[in-house]
């Protein structure tokens, strides 16, 4: 835990961060798993710290992998443009110069024919090997995961967001608001910061364990930005039925930020924002999400979906017990 806190202080540009007393072997493992090793290496070098050869080599490999993924992003962008598909990459711009698996949201119903058209010019090993229940889950969520060139995982999402594909309206809204943003040497269509925050809320509410280190590193800069539109986030969370999940996720980030900053840098967001969302303070070590929030979030989401007349999305939410029986809650960190 101590190494994780010190690592997060470096990623949060804490002026009192000190890389000299950090367990670099453990930090390398945590940063690799959390997809922040390039940023951590850059932060350590900015303090004049010389990286151990093994750490430097791991960061170099991660940087090279990111460049390979950006090459795939370029080809997918060109292909979507040719097909006239509205699209957005989720997590590419937000995690650069690090990266993890690629997620591409396209404006179309789930279809293997569309997948083949999008992937036509992309070397691919085909769909990722399925575990029990995966076929049912991918149809439900409107997504399929492929193994592309260089062994890179590519998840194609079709017009839906959420564990169960329950947020079709939000997917349309995200694609309408998406903008082309610079990502290193290239550009790609990405969600707005507000929409990406809501993606994290939607995805994390029904997942265990807690948020990615990369999510926290992004949130520290994004949520503190003066132009971050909290009015939009609040209104959209209410309309989508995810306000309970938003409050819980925001509370988790606030608690973690207090630990990382040791209370020296104030809160991640102003008190008025916390009050508006009804954030309840939880200790940073508390499990995320709390068990009682899972049920409350599901009920709120179901009610909002019914009130809006989104019957198919409501039906998807009723599949929670079935999905849990097939595969259990997601344990990927």
56 burial via Cβ count (<10 Å: 0-12, 13-18, 19+): middle
Higher confidence at residue 25 or residue 305?
25
Higher confidence at residue 52 or residue 317?
52
Residue 243 has pLDDT above 50, yes or no: yes
Q: What percent of the chain has pLDDT over 90?
A: 45
- Report the alpha-carbon distance of residue 269 to residue 279 in Å, rounded: 11
Mean pLDDT of the 211-223 span: 87
Mean pLDDT of the 163-184 span: 92
Main-chain phi, psi angles of 165, to 5 degrees:
65, 30
Mean pLDDT of the 319-331 span: 46
* Low-confidence winner among 41-45, 155-159, 168-172, 299-303 (lowest mean pLDDT): 299-303
Going by their DSSP bridges, the two strands 102-106 and 153-158 should be labelled as: parallel
- Tell me if 277 sits within 8 A of 235, measured CB to CB: no
Which of 3.90.320.10, 3.30.460.10, 3.40.190.10, 3.30.930.10 would CATH assign to domain 66-191? Answer: 3.30.460.10
CA 149 vs CA 81, 224, 267, 285: distances in Å: 21, 37, 42, 38
Q: What's the pLDDT at 12? A: 87
- Report the alpha-carbon distance of residue 171 to residue 2 in Å, rounded: 38
Mean pLDDT of the 208-235 span: 87
Q: What's the pLDDT at 331? A: 39
Q: What's the pLDDT at 163? A: 74
- Report the alpha-carbon distance of residue 60 to residue 41 in Å, rounded: 9
Q: What's the pLDDT at 300? A: 61
State the residue for tokens 């979906």.
305
Task: Sheet containing 179-183: give its strands across.
Answer: 124-127, 143-148, 153-158, 102-106, 87-89, 186-190, 179-183
pLDDT, averaged across the chain: 82
Please report, to the nearest 10 degrees, the dihedral formed by the alpha carbons of residues 186, 189, 194, 196 taken in order. -90
- Tell me if 111 sits within 8 A of 83, measured CB to CB: no
């Amino acid at each position: 835990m101590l190494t994780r806190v010190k690592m997060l202080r470096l990623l949060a540009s804490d002026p009192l961060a000190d890389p000299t007393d950090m367990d670099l072997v453990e930090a390398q493992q945590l940063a690799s798993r959390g997809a922040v090793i390039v940023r951590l290496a850059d932060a350590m070098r900015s303090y004049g710290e010389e990286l151990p050869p093994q750490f430097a080599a791991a960061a170099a490999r991660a940087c090279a992998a990111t460049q390979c993924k950006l090459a795939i992003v370029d080809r997918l962008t060109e292909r979507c443009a040719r097909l006239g598909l509205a699209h957005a990459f989720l997590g590419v711009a937000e995690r650069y110069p690090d990266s993890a698996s690629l997620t591409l949201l396209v404006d179309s119903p789930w279809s293997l024919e569309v997948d083949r058209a999008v992937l036509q010019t992309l070397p691919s090993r085909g769909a990722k090997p399925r575990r029990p229940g995966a076929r049912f889950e991918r149809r439900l969520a409107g997504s399929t995961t492929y193994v592309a060139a260089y062994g890179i995982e590519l998840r194609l999402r079709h017009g839906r967001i959420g564990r169960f594909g329950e947020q079709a309206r939000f997917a349309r809204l995200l694609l309408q608001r998406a903008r082309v943003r610079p990502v290193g040497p290239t550009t790609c269509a990405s969600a707005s910061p507000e929409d990406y925050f809501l993606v994290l809320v939607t995805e994390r509410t029904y997942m265990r364990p807690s948020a990615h280190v990369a999510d926290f590193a992004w949130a520290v800069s994004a949520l503190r930005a003066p132009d971050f539109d909290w009015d939009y986030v609040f209104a959209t969370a209410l309309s989508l039925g995810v306000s309970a999940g938003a409050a819980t996720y925001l509370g988790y980030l606030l608690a973690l930020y207090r630990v990382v900053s040791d209370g020296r840098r104030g809160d991640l967001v102003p008190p008025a924002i916390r009050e508006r969302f009804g954030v309840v303070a939880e200790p940073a070590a508390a499990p995320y999400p709390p068990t009682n929030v899972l049920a409350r979030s599901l009920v709120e989401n179901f009610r909002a979906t019914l009130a809006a007349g989104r019957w198919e999305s409501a039906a998807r939410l009723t599949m929670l017990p079935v999905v849990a029986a097939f595969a259990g809650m997601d344990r990927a960190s």
